[in-house]
Copies of this chain bind each other. A is one copy, B any other.
Amino acid sequence: MPPIQLDLTVPKSLSAAVEERIRDAIVNAELAFGQALPEDGVGLAMGVSRTPMREALTRLQAQGLVVIVPKKGTFVFDPSPDDVDQLAAFRLMLESEAVRLGLAVAPEAALAGLRAAQGAMEQARRSGDGRAYARADTVFHASFFHHCGNAYLAKAYESIAWQVAALRAHLSVPRLHEQDTSFAEHAAMIGHFAAGEAEALLAILGRHILRSAAVYREAIRVRGA
């Protein structure tokens, strides 16, 4: 007899719910960079008290999404152009390693994840849903880490992935040309991954990441001026 499998939505704690909600708000650009987040502001609006709110903010700080200034308050992170560059460089390092490990450890599983994400991206593109495209983009890159076999590497990526997603949401200029280039690059990466051609893949990945970083840096520079 096959084992019974039931889906059970575990009642997540309030602090976890608040954390997710605020994170969504940040990565979906509902909250502006630098926006203040008083503990009794957002929390009371959701009907929770300051305690779970504080926990949520503490964890969000660990994810780099908010900055807590002692005795002053908590604010949505506000990256400088230099931050964007450093973030991209770090991301490129992590993702390159994840690609190499994934090819060595579980190429089939990783490839399946990549193709699923690509399918979602294609669908989003056809329906013109920019937000869905961005989500699928996030899933695509996360696939490398889900199958790299190193939990620490994956955790490190998690610690910056949300910041990257937030940058995408805040600063992406919805130019169709950009999306075309991006989509083509993803397809090319899948091809190289399937063929086991690590170096060719990494070359595209590097261009891919550094180009988007340049876009974000410019957007921040202009906005800051």
Contact = CB atoms under 8 A, between A and B. Distances in A.
Given A58-B55, A58-B58, A70-B13, A97 B93 contact: yes
A152 B13 contact: no
A62 interface: yes
A150 B85 CA distance: 9
A17 interface: no
Interface in A83-128: 83, 86-87, 89-90, 93, 97
Interface stretch (A25-33, A153-161, A186-194, A201-209): A153-161
Interface centre among A70, A83, A89, A90 (most CB of B within 10 A): A90
A152 B162 CA distance: 14
Contact of A160 (B58, B70, B83, B152): B152
Number of copies of this chain in the oligomer? 2
A140 B148 CA distance: 29
A213 to B, nearest CB: 12
Nearest to A150: B86
Contact of A58 (B59, B97, B159): B59
A86 B151 CA distance: 7
A54 interface: yes
B70 A152 contact: no
Nearest to A90: B152
Interface centre among A70, A90, A97, A152 (most CB of B within 10 A): A152
Interface in A72-91: 83, 86-87, 89-90
Interface of A: 13, 54-55, 58-59, 62, 70, 83, 86-87, 89-90, 93, 97, 149-153, 155-156, 159-160
